[in-house]
């Protein structure tokens, strides 16, 4: 009976340690910037051309942390942040009916929007406890063939799984700037949207999906701020 219990404990420990180790391995993100806003309370009866955004965000912001992930590490995954943000803004301004006509190429537009990405990232960073437990767990897998005391190395993994202790922190931050010009290229106003989101995450959650969704929620909040500013100017300036 003791042998059966011991084998079960060993099997459980190996399984949990293996799952924990796998959960720490970053998956290749498939992230696309997207804005999710309701229909605009007012439609500005004008046409607007949105030029490609300029990505001026710090490269360090988007780099993948050790044993973590970054859905906006475009240098690593070969994606383009500027075109992704541009397409997302065009789609939202069109779908939400903020302007009567929106596009990247508009014939004789009433307005032109030029944007700049000051900050844009979404990442998951392991806690120190999770990093240590992963390292100790791997050592325990090796040591279990030498001494049964190596089972103690799996205790941190049991704590993470059964204790519900957050193993990482998901964080995203946005700072978007848009400049609105008339059809004679005169600057009307500059609008800025900023948003930060951060929350703890459990070890067995799909971090790629969680970080992607959180990043788009943060992005949406920043664009909402800009939309409100544009609508305020529309009422004030009468366009």
Residue 150 belongs to a domain: no
Q: What is the pLDDT of residue 144?
A: 55
Specify the pLDDT at position 235. Answer: 84
Is residue 133 included in any domain, yes or no?
Answer: no
Q: Is the dihedral of CA 90, 121, 176, 112 positive or negative?
A: negative
- The DSSP code sequence of 127-188 is -HHHHHHHHHHHHHHHHTTT-GGGGGGGHHHHHHHHS----EEEEEEEEEEEEEEETT--EE
Distance CA 235, CA 216 (A): 28
Number of structural domains the chain divides into: 1
By three-state DSSP, how is residue 13 classified? helix
- pTM summary value: 0.75
Place of tokens 């696309």: 32
Q: How confident is the model at residue 147 (pLDDT cuts 50, 70, 90)?
A: low
Segment 22-60, tens digit of pLDDT: 444 445 557 889 999 999 999 999 999 999 999 999 988
Domain that holds residue 40: 31-127+166-237
Of the listed ranges 1-15, 115-129, 207-221, the one predicted with least confidence: 1-15
The CATH number of whichever domain residue 46 belongs to comes to 3.40.50.10610
93 domain residue, yes or no = yes
């Amino acid at each position: 009976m003791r042998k059966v219990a011991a084998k079960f404990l060993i099997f459980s420990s190996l399984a949990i340690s293996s799952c924990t180790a796998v959960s720490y391995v970053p998956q290749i993100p498939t992230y696309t910037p997207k804005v999710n806003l309701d229909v605009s309370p007012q439609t500005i009866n004008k046409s607007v051309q949105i030029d490609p955004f300029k990505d001026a965000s710090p490269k360090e912001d988007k780099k993948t942390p050790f044993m973590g992930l970054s859905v906006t590490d475009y240098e690593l995954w070969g994606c383009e942040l500027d075109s992704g943000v541009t397409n997302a803004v065009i789609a939202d301004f069109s779908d939400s009916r903020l302007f009567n006509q929106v596009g990247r190429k508009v014939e004789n537009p009433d307005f032109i929007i030029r944007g700049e990405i000051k900050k844009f990232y979404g990442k998951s960073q392991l806690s120190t406890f999770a990093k240590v437990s992963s390292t100790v767990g791997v050592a325990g897998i090796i040591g279990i063939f030498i001494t049964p005391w190596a089972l103690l190395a799996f205790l941190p993994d049991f704590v993470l799984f059964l204790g519900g202790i957050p193993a990482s922190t998901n964080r995203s931050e946005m700072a978007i700037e848009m400049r609105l010009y008339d059809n004679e290229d005169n600057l009307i106003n500059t609008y800025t949207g900023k948003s930060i989101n951060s929350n703890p995450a459990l070890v067995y959650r799909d971090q790629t999906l969680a970080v992607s969704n959180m990043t788009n929620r943060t992005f949406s909040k920043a664009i909402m701020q800009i939309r409100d500013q544009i609508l305020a100017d529309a009422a004030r300036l009468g366009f």
